[in-house]
Amino acid sequence: MDWKIRRFGQGLFTVWAVVSLTFFITRMMPGNPVDAFVAQIGPELENPQEAYELAETYMNINPEAPLHVAYRDYMISMVQGDLGRSMSQNAEVTELMAEAVPWTLFVMSWAIAISFVVGISLGAIMAYWEGSTFDTAVTGYATTVTSIPFYVLALLLLMVFGYQLGWFPTGGRQPSGVEAGFNLPFMLGMIHHAALPVFSMLVASGAASLTMRGNSVRILGEDYLRVARLRGLADRTIAVRYVARNAILPMYTGLMIAIGTMFGGAVVLEEIYTYRGMGYYMIQAVRMRDYPLMMGAFTVITIAVVIALLIADLTYGKIDPRAGGENREAF
């Protein structure tokens, strides 16, 4: 129990440190968001002082207050669930994030699931046929795919299948002219719009296949597999219960870490496909110097990564008893 409390404390400290660092860096750099907001809105108002009042309303801080007071006010508002109001979208940041995060999770969950299923399957076959032509060919493919940045693949897929062939939409996240809800046309339209972003993230399957291959080859040389063969167990039983099961276990933590990696990748990916998820709004916030929206997106991404790592750390001991039970860290 003490170990779990310590891990939760480390997670909270990480979130606090990232939010605090982002707040101070953004406020202290030249042309900080408050000055930019006042300079942009002030000339349009009869009373320039109203610009500071609007800044306080949008950013949950008093622009004329000392830095430490502004930081305290912002942190209190954030803990209460108030992330301010977006200047570029003219909406509450909490509402924008609540609307955008499910769309990002929809794409990222499919991308992670397909990447790891494909990677694990290919890796297992590569290990079983180690040294064969198939192993050599797929190893080369996996190495090549892993070396390609996902955004380069995204641009190639968009150009070929979006603009040249017209098979997939070039932007958006849902079909137009279809009633939103749990109906077949809308669901199929969602999948159609998410297809290219999902395929763009499949570069992760290359790394997963190489990892699975390495784990499987290592396990194939273990003594307990020789004992299993001497006992007369079927090859299928050995492959499923002994090889695959033990080779997949070390990849569990990598799966959780991949969630954070793909959240970061969503920032660029959603901008390329104009997919209005969390990453898209974050790019818009940086471009428009929308401080509340920028901070809100940073905070959500940080919390998502910390939660994923906490889940991996707290559950790995239950999944793999060799890790030493609940009092051992997964990474």
Q: Is residue 171 part of a domain?
A: yes
Q: Is residue 72 part of a domain?
A: no
Q: Is residue 26 part of a domain?
A: no
Averaged over 221-239, what is the pLDDT?
A: 74
pLDDT tens digits for range 292-324? 888 888 888 888 888 877 877 777 666 666 555
pTM of model > 0.85: no
Q: What pLDDT shows up at residue 56?
A: 61
Q: Is residue 10 part of a domain?
A: no
Q: Please, which pLDDT band fits residue 30 given cuts at 50, 70 and 90?
A: low
Q: What pLDDT shows up at residue 75?
A: 84
Q: Is residue 192 part of a domain?
A: yes
User: Considering its fold, how many domains does the chain have in total?
Assistant: 1
Distance of alpha carbon 27 from alpha carbon 31, whole angstroms: 9
Q: Is residue 159 part of a domain?
A: yes
Could you tell me which of 283, 285, 281, 278 has the C-alpha nearest to residue 302?
278
For residue 175, the enclosing domain spans 106-289
Tokens 């997964």, residue? 330
Q: Is residue 271 part of a domain?
A: yes
Q: Is residue 113 part of a domain?
A: yes
Could you tell me which of 306, 10, 251 has the C-alpha nearest to residue 119?
251
Give whichever of 205-219, 254-268, 272-286 has the largest mean pLDDT.
Answer: 272-286
CATH of the domain at 254: 1.10.3720.10
Tokens 């194939």, residue? 220
Distance of alpha carbon 212 from alpha carbon 100, whole angstroms: 33
Could you tell me which of 26, 37, 38 has the C-alpha nearest to residue 67?
26
Both tokens of residue 288?
Answer: 């428009």
